[in-house]
Amino acid sequence: MKSSVALHLVDVLRDFGVNVVFGIPGGAISPLYDALLERPDIRIITTKHETNAAFLAIGYAMATGRPGVVITTAGPGITNALTGMASAYYEGMPVVHIAGEVARSAFGRGALQEGSSAGLDAVAIMRRVTKMSVCISHPGPAASVLHKALTTAFSGRRGPVFVTLPLDVATERLDPQPLAGHERTTYEIDEDSTRRALELLERASRPLILAGSGTRDLASRRALRRLAEHVGSPVCVTTKGKGVFPEDHPLYLGVTGFGGHDSVGHYLESGVDVMLVVGSGLNDFATNAWSPLLRANRAFIQIDIDDAQLGKNYAIDMGLVGPADRVITHMLEHREEGRTPTMTAADPPLAVQPIRPSPTGKLTTMDVVTTMNEVCPRDAVFTADMGEHLGVALHYLKVREQGDFFTCLGFGSMGSGINAAIGFQLGAPQRRTFAVCGDGGFLMYGTELATAVQHRLGTTFVIINDSRLNMVHHGHVGLFGRTPDFTTPLVDFAMLAKSMGAEGHVIETREQLVRGLEVRDGPVVLDVRIDADVRLMGNQRVAALKQFKAGDHR
Residue 99 lies in a domain: yes
Q: Can you give the CATH number for the domain in which 296 is found?
A: 3.40.50.1220
Residues 154 and 202 grouped into a single domain: no
- Whether the per-residue pLDDT at 67 is higher than 50: the answer is yes
pLDDT top residue among 385 and 183: 385
Residues 403 and 303 grouped into a single domain: no
- Whether the per-residue pLDDT at 553 is higher than 80: the answer is no
- Whether the per-residue pLDDT at 382 is higher than 80: the answer is yes
Least confident span in 72-76, 110-114, 216-220, 500-504: 110-114
Residues 381 and 280 grouped into a single domain: no
| The predicted structure's pLDDT at residue 474 | 80
Q: Are strands 207-211 and 274-278 parallel, antiparallel or unpaired?
A: parallel
* Tens-place pLDDT, residues 87-126: 999 999 999 999 999 888 888 888 888 888 888 899 999 9
Average pLDDT over residues 510-525: 94
**What distance in Å separates the CA atoms of residue 402 and residue 314, rounded to the nearest whole number?**
32
Residues 148 and 226 grouped into a single domain: no
DSSP H/E element including 30: helix 30-36
Phi and psi at 26, nearest 5°, equal -175, 170
181 Rama sector, left if φ>0, alpha if ψ -120 to 50, beta otherwise: left
Residue 102 lies in a domain: yes
Q: Can you give the CATH number for the domain in which 462 is found?
A: 3.40.50.970
Residue 221 near residue 215, CB atoms below 8 Å: yes
Amino acid at 228: A
DSSP H/E element including 406: strand 404-406
* Tens-place pLDDT, residues 164-184: 999 999 999 998 877 777 777
Residues 404 and 443 grouped into a single domain: yes
Please give the sequence-ordered ranges of beta strands (E in DSSP) within 57-187, or none if there are none. Answer: 68-72, 95-101, 132-135, 161-166, 173-174
Domain end marker among 332, 347, 378: 332
Q: What is the mean pLDDT of the chain?
A: 92
Q: What is the total count of domains within the chain?
A: 3
Q: Are strands 235-237 and 404-406 parallel, antiparallel or unpaired?
A: unpaired
* Tens-place pLDDT, residues 355-369: 999 999 999 999 999
**What distance in Å separates the CA atoms of residue 190 and residue 197, rounded to the nearest whole number?**
11
Residue 547: pLDDT band by 50, 70, 90 thresholds? very low
Q: How many CB atoms lie within 10 A of CB 188?
A: 7
Residues 280 and 387 grouped into a single domain: no
Q: What is the pTM of this model?
A: 0.93
| The predicted structure's pLDDT at residue 551 | 46
Least confident span in 214-218, 408-412, 475-479, 540-544: 540-544
Amino acid at 5: V
Q: Which residues pair with 372 in a beta bridge?
A: none
Residues 243 and 137 grouped into a single domain: no
Residue 305 lies in a domain: yes
Residue 554: pLDDT band by 50, 70, 90 thresholds? very low
b or e along 452-468 (b: 16 or more beta carbons within 10 Å of the residue's beta carbon)?
Answer: bbebebbbbbbbbbbbb
| Host domain of residue 254 | 191-332
Domain end marker among 117, 144, 174: 174
Amino acid at 307: D
Residues 163 and 228 grouped into a single domain: no
Q: CA dihedral defined by 392, 398, 399, 405, rounded to 10 degrees?
A: -10
Residues 308 and 441 grouped into a single domain: no
Residue 448 lies in a domain: yes
- Whether the per-residue pLDDT at 405 is higher than 50: the answer is yes
Residues 490 and 465 grouped into a single domain: yes
Average pLDDT over residues 369-398: 95
Residues 9 and 38 grouped into a single domain: yes
Residue 399: pLDDT band by 50, 70, 90 thresholds? very high
| The predicted structure's pLDDT at residue 520 | 84
| The predicted structure's pLDDT at residue 181 | 73
Residues 249 and 104 grouped into a single domain: no
Residue 205: pLDDT band by 50, 70, 90 thresholds? very high
- Whether the per-residue pLDDT at 548 is higher than 50: the answer is no
* Tens-place pLDDT, residues 122-165: 999 999 999 999 999 999 999 999 999 999 999 999 999 999 99
Give the residue from 129, 128, 111 showing the smallest Cα distance to 166.
Answer: 111
Domain end marker among 282, 312, 332: 332
Residue 198 lies in a domain: yes
Q: Find out whether the peptide bond into 178 is cis, omega within 30 degrees of 0.
A: no
Average pLDDT over residues 512-519: 94
Residue 540: pLDDT band by 50, 70, 90 thresholds? low
Q: Give alpha helix (H) positions in 455-506.
A: 470-480, 493-500
Residue 182 lies in a domain: no
Residue 186 lies in a domain: no
Question: What is the 8-class DSSP label of residue 28?
Answer: G
Residue 551 lies in a domain: no
Average pLDDT over residues 515-536: 93
In total, the chain counts a number of residues equal to: 554
- Whether the per-residue pLDDT at 394 is higher than 90: the answer is yes
Residue 296 near residue 274, CB atoms below 8 Å: yes
Average pLDDT over residues 296-300: 96
